[in-house]
Amino acid sequence: MSLTQRLTVTQPMRVFWITWFGQLISLIGSGLTAFGVGAKIFLDTRSTTQFALLSFFAFAPMLVLSPIAGALIDRWDRRRAMLLADLGNGFSTLLIFGMVLASNRGLFEIQPWHFYLPVSIGSCFGAFRWPAFFATVSLLVPKQHLGRANAMAEVASGASQILSPIVAGALIEKMGLIGVLTVDVFSFSFAVITLLMVRFPRPTATAEGQRGKGSLKDEIKQGWTFIRTRPGLLSLLGFTIVATLCMDLVMLLITPLVLAFTDISTLGIIASVAGTGALVGAVSMGVWGGPKNQLHGILGFQVLSGLVLFMAAPVPSVPLVATAAALYLFTMPPMLASSQSIWQRKIPADLQGRASAVKRMVLLCVPPSVALMAGPLADDLFEPAMAPGGALAGSMGRLLGVGPGRGIAVIFIVLGLLTLANVAAAWMNPRLRNLDRELPDALPDVPATTVDAAGNTTPTAPSTAGASAS
């Protein structure tokens, strides 16, 4: 049975597919800009710190605004929240477009810090997109198929990782950065059009979701209280923080690791091969649906990701790094989709904006922290230690070699060990290990529904969604 047959095309599912496709195109466009701007900054400066600061300004505003965004998402129509996010991201792309165009015409010399403000503006609006999207998925998809639906979000991410580096590299070579930004402008316009074509259902009010309703401050607090009073979810959040720290460091440092021994076109090829791994992992998860015990899937794929990191370290080899990157990203969609499904199942639908945004805020503390620590770790500590005559040249240098990029290889080994230790600690935690048994699902099995122009839902045949998808 195909993935599209498993995810039945009821009207809510039709809304899901249209929305998903629009966000896929938007993600590809955003990936073009992220790859193009990041590569330009690193090649112009050869500084991991300058490169990492771009990531800091892409995540820090989102971190600050996430709790407010979550409370507002539970108040607003979630489709309008996503529209706001896409329009805001489009505005930030237009600002970068204007700067690059002015620089190309000799009006001023563009510097890395010029990108930080527009990237921050886009990040502010981006705080609304994914909390609104994932809070809506549970309204459109029966809970037994949330793993597959969440995997489709990872398919979009994987497709972006494959296509964006290839397309960005070709556009930069022929048209410069301005070509990349032009395609991004069209991509967010397409996403806006698809959102204008659909209506999202409203969540059913629950006692848990209504508790704390009133002031914005109380609603923000309610999201954190829900997580804090459930030890299993709190433990899952702690595990995810460490996993995210390792993943973000890997994703950030792979660019300077590769550019230390090859050129930007080869980096684009490696990124696309890695994206293929992510896409295969996401499609596999979409067809499979994941293990019955989703926590086992999360921990199992996390173990594999830790082991794969050891592959990227031994020698500066394009085939070896590309294979390791593909396998590493292959493990991410099943792990992320399973984790997201657990959160969606355990949180009432009308509380998901607030609770998900609080979770997201905590996790968004990681990328800015990683961005601030990656530069000093690489430029000031491990890279000098692995230079000829460095502190680690006589020990780790004998195994990994010395020179540019070898310090980052050591960091990858450390991250692999940390990943495995995180899995062991999670398995030894009974609250996390028994999460499904101790915390009942907050979502019922959802029948197929129709959505009117006002966003109200009306059940159709009660068993259609489950029967058709089985």
CATH number at residue 326: 1.20.1250
| CATH code at position 150 | 1.20.1250.20
List the structure tokens of 403.
Answer: 């020179």
In a domain, 457, yes or no: no
Q: Is there a single domain that holds both residue 265 and residue 370?
A: yes
CB atoms closer than 10 angstroms to residue 207: 8
Domain termination residue (choose one: 169, 198, 227)? 198
Q: Which amino acid is at 406?
A: R
* 225 shares a domain with 163: no
| Residue 401: other Cβ atoms inside 10 A | 15
Residue among 443, 344, 460 nearest 11 (CA): 460
Please check whether residues 267 and 181 belong to one and the same domain: no
Same domain, 357 and 403: yes
Residues β-bridged to residue 459: 449
* 103 Cβ contact partners less than 8 Å away, ≥ 6 residues apart: 109, 110
Classify residue 335: in a domain, yes or no: yes
Chain-centre distance for alpha carbon 417 = 23
**Residue 86 included in any domain:** yes
Work out the number of other CB atoms within 10 angstroms of the CB of residue 354: 31
Do both 131 and 276 map to the same domain?
no
Same domain, residue pair 310 and 427: yes
Question: What pairs with residue 449 in β-bridges?
Answer: 459
Distances (CA, A) of 133 to 86, 365, 402: 12, 21, 46
> Distance between CA atoms of 208 and 219, rounded to whole angstroms?
11
Please check whether residues 311 and 419 belong to one and the same domain: yes
Q: Could you tell me if residue 466 is inside a domain?
A: no
End-to-end CA distance of the chain: 9
Looking at the structure of the chain, the number of domains it has is 2
> Would you say residue 451 lies in a domain?
no
Token pair recorded at residue 360: 């997201």
Q: Among candidates 197, 180, 184, 183, which has minimal Cα distance to 83?
A: 197
How many other CB atoms are found less than 10 A from the CB of residue 6? 17
Full domain range(s) for residue 41: 10-198
**Residue pair 384/232 in contact by the 8 Å Cβ criterion:** no
Answer whether residue 431 is part of any domain: yes
Residue 252, Cβ neighbours under 10 Å: how many?
A: 24
Cβ–Cβ under 8 Å, residues 184 and 30: yes
Residues 34 and 151 in one domain: yes
Where among 166, 198, 230 does a domain terminate?
A: 198
**Assigned domain for 1 exists:** no
Of 198, 233, 266, the position where a domain reaches its end is 198
- Axis crossing angle, helix 11-45 with helix 231-259, rounded to the nearest 10: 40
Residues 194, 234: one domain?
no
Query: What are the percentages of helix, strand and coil residues in the chain, rounded to 5?
Result: 80, 0, 20
Surface-to-core class of residue 42, CB atoms within 10 Å of its CB (0-12 exposed, 13-18 middle, 19+ buried): buried
Q: Indicate if 134 and 244 belong to the same structural domain.
A: no
Give Cα separations from 431 to 231, 361, 419 (angstroms).
6, 23, 20
Per-residue pLDDT of the chain (470 residues; tens, 9 = 90+): 444 444 444 567 788 888 888 988 888 888 888 888 887 787 778 777 787 788 788 878 887 887 788 778 877 888 888 898 889 888 999 999 999 888 888 787 888 888 889 989 988 888 888 778 877 887 788 777 777 777 777 676 666 666 677 677 777 777 878 888 888 889 889 999 999 998 888 776 665 545 545 566 777 778 788 888 999 999 999 999 999 999 989 988 988 888 888 887 788 788 888 878 887 887 888 788 778 888 999 999 999 999 999 988 888 889 999 999 999 989 988 898 889 889 888 888 777 777 877 787 788 788 778 878 888 899 889 999 999 999 999 899 888 899 988 999 999 999 999 999 999 999 999 999 999 888 888 866 544 444 444 445 454 443 333 322 22
- What 8-state DSSP symbol labels residue 351? G
Does residue 165 share a domain with residue 23?
yes
Question: Is the separation of the CB atoms in 308 and 202 below 8 Å?
Answer: no
The DSSP secondary structure of 351-376, one letter per residue, reads: GHHHHHHHHHHHHHTHHHHHHHHHHI
- The token pair at 25 is 């195109």
| Helices 294-309 and 406-427, axial angle in degrees (round to 10) | 160
What's the maximum distance between 2 C-alpha atoms anywhere in the chain? 73
Domain for residue 465, yes or no? no
Question: What span, in angstroms and rounded, lies between the C-alpha atoms of 260 and 408?
Answer: 10
Q: Are residues 259 and 187 in the same domain?
A: no
pTM score, two decimals?
0.69
Pairing of β 457-459 and β 449-451 = antiparallel
